[in-house]
């Protein structure tokens, strides 16, 4: 059980993207630690099913669980979510901006996918912090804001430029949020960037979990252990990639700038052998 004071029994967590995957796993875990939870997701059967599933194990029954249909890409929706959560519970100790979509956006192809990707993955995080942040600071109690990023927002592999841009934006925004919170005298709210590894969620499709993937529950357990150390970058491994390999991939990515290599040189034929040697070394 985490010792981070924001996750104490009786306190309140708001989780966007809470109808499935990491978000639903987080809500279940928080309830299991005696917290109250508000899950937000797009209206539909998934949100309704998630609410029913959470109510089964909620110690206080319906008093501990709130499900809110929310489009996180719209600030008005997120502001309404904030009002709903505070009216119901009186405080928010944990804000987990986790909602995300994984549709493909190509750099050279005009597509509505770009607006959906940036609207949910990036603006959803910005809207969450800006709707809830000042109220959480004003509580003057220990609290945490956790934004779900991605390793693709750091190493930016080819294939889905839209997703990479959205998650790179989450990284930069969360770093700035953490810095701004540190400048507020006496502030007890901290910000953290969750960086999952390969995780079996709703975005990766139905079917059997691949052996290389972690479950959402494993990600949440790792997140809580990291928060005990007050980690900002919560860099999760999985069953295929450990932290050492992640660090080498990230170091190579920033090395493209320092060494003036071609963009995304890890996937460039002229640098494939050098990258392989770098990882092997």
Query: Catalytic residues, which ones?
Result: 163
**Start-to-end C-alpha separation, the chain:** 37
Q: Whole-angstrom Cα distance, residue 121 to residue 218? A: 22
Q: Whole-angstrom Cα distance, residue 99 to residue 74? A: 13
Q: Whole-angstrom Cα distance, residue 81 to residue 70? A: 7
Give the HSE-up count for residue 188: Cα atoms under 13 Å, Cβ half-sphere. 14
The SS3 assignment for 41 reads strand
Q: Whole-angstrom Cα distance, residue 74 to residue 116? A: 11
Tell me which residue has tokens 């949440």: 220
Q: What's the chain's Rg over C-alpha atoms?
A: 19
Q: Which residues pair with 12 in a beta bridge?
A: 36
Q: Whole-angstrom Cα distance, residue 36 to residue 13? A: 6
Q: Where are the alpha helices (DSSP H) in the chain?
A: 21-32, 45-57, 75-89, 112-117, 123-139, 152-155, 161-182, 216-228, 243-258, 272-280
């Amino acid at each position: 059980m985490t010792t981070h004071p924001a996750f104490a029994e009786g306190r309140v967590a708001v989780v966007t993207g809470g109808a499935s995957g990491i978000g639903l796993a987080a809500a279940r875990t928080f309830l299991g630690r005696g917290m109250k939870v508000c899950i937000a997701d797009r209206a539909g059967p998934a949100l309704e099913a998630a609410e029913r599933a959470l109510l089964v194990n909620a110690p206080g029954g319906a008093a501990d669980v709130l499900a809110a249909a929310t489009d996180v890409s719209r600030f008005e929706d997120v502001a309404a979510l904030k009002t709903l959560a505070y009216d119901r519970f009186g405080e928010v100790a944990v804000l987990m901006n986790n909602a995300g979509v994984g549709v493909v956006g190509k750099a050279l192809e005009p597509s509505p996918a770009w607006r959906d990707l940036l609207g949910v993955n990036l603006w959803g995080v910005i809207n969450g912090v800006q709707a809830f942040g000042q109220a959480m600071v004003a509580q003057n109690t220990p609290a945490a804001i956790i934004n779900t990023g991605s390793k693709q927002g750091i190493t930016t592999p080819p294939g889905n430029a839209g997703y990479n841009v959205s998650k790179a934006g989450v990284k930069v925004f969360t770093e700035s949020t953490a810095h701004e919170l540190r400048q507020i005298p006496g502030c007890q709210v901290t910000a953290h960037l969750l960086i999952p590894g390969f995780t079996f969620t709703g975005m990766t499709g139905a079917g059997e979990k691949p052996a290389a993937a972690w479950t959402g529950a494993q990600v949440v357990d790792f997140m809580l252990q990291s928060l005990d150390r007050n980690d900002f970058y919560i860099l999760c491994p999985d069953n295929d990639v450990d932290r050492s390999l992640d660090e080498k991939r990230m170091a190579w990515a920033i090395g493209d700038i320092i060494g003036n290599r071609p963009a995304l040189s890890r996937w460039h034929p002229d640098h494939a052998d050098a990258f392989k040697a770098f990882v092997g070394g």
